[in-house]
Amino acid sequence: MKIFNITKIINYMQIIWSKTIEDYAEKLKLNKLEIEDTYNKPDKNQSIAGVYVSVKFYNGYAIIITFFYKDNKTHIMNAYKIYPNMITVNIDEVTPIEILENFMNNYGMEIEVEGIGKIKIFYDEANKKFYQGILNVEKYIANIN
C-alpha cells in the first residue's frame, strides 16, 4: 500500500473564498496571503464534523481559519486575526477547536438553535454537526484598531 503526502495534494487544490471573506477581509484587517499561509502551513490543525480548523502563529497574533473540501476544491469559510487579549486560553496548550470556541464565546453573537438552545458555537462530532457562529463585527473591530 502506497501512502501519499496529503499536504502536497491539498496545497494544489483550488481555493474558493466565502462571501464573508470576500466582503469583510479588509475591514477585519485580514489579507489572503496570511489566510493561504495558514491553510498551507498551519501550526495547528484539527477537523471536526468534516470542517477543518487551522491556526498559524505570527508575531503578536494568530490567524485562525475554517474550511472544508468539496469537489476537489478548498472552501475557506471564515478567517479571524486573533490577538492574545481577545481570548482567555493559552493557545500553546489547547486545540484549534478550543481556540475557536473561546474566541467565538468572546466575540460571537448568540443565536437560538432549535433543540439546542442559545449558542455562539456548537459542534457534535458524533452526529457530524458544526456551527462555527456569527462574529459580532462591531465588537471585534473595536478590539483590533
**Inter-CA distances, 15 with 71, 81, 97, 138, Å:** 11, 19, 22, 28
**pLDDT for 24-75, tens place per residue?**
888 888 999 999 999 999 999 998 888 899 999 999 999 999 999 999 899 9
Alpha carbons 65 and 87: distance in angstroms, whole number: 16
Rounded CA-CA distance 68/49 in Å is: 10
Domains in the chain, number: 1
Residue 89 is assigned to a structural domain of this protein: yes
pLDDT over 90, % of the chain: 37
pTM of the predicted protein model: 0.80
Q: Determine, yes or no, domain membership for 1.
A: no
Q: How confident is the model at residue 125 (pLDDT cuts 50, 70, 90)?
A: low
**Residue 21 reports pLDDT greater than 50:** yes
Question: Residue 2: what pLDDT?
Answer: 44
Question: Is 113 part of any domain?
Answer: yes
Q: What is the pLDDT of residue 145?
A: 60
Query: Distance of CA 35 to CAs 15, 18, 142, Å?
Result: 11, 12, 21
Domain of 108 in residue numbering reads as 6-144
Lowest mean pLDDT among 10-24, 67-81, 120-134: 120-134
SS (H, E, C) the chain: CCCCCHHHHHHCCEEEECHHHHHHCCCCCCCHHHHHHHHHCCCEEEEECCEEEEEEEECCEEEEEEEEEECCEEEEEEEEEECHHHCCCCCCCCCHHHHHHHHHHHHEECEEECCCEEECCEEECCCCEEECCEECHHHHHHHHC
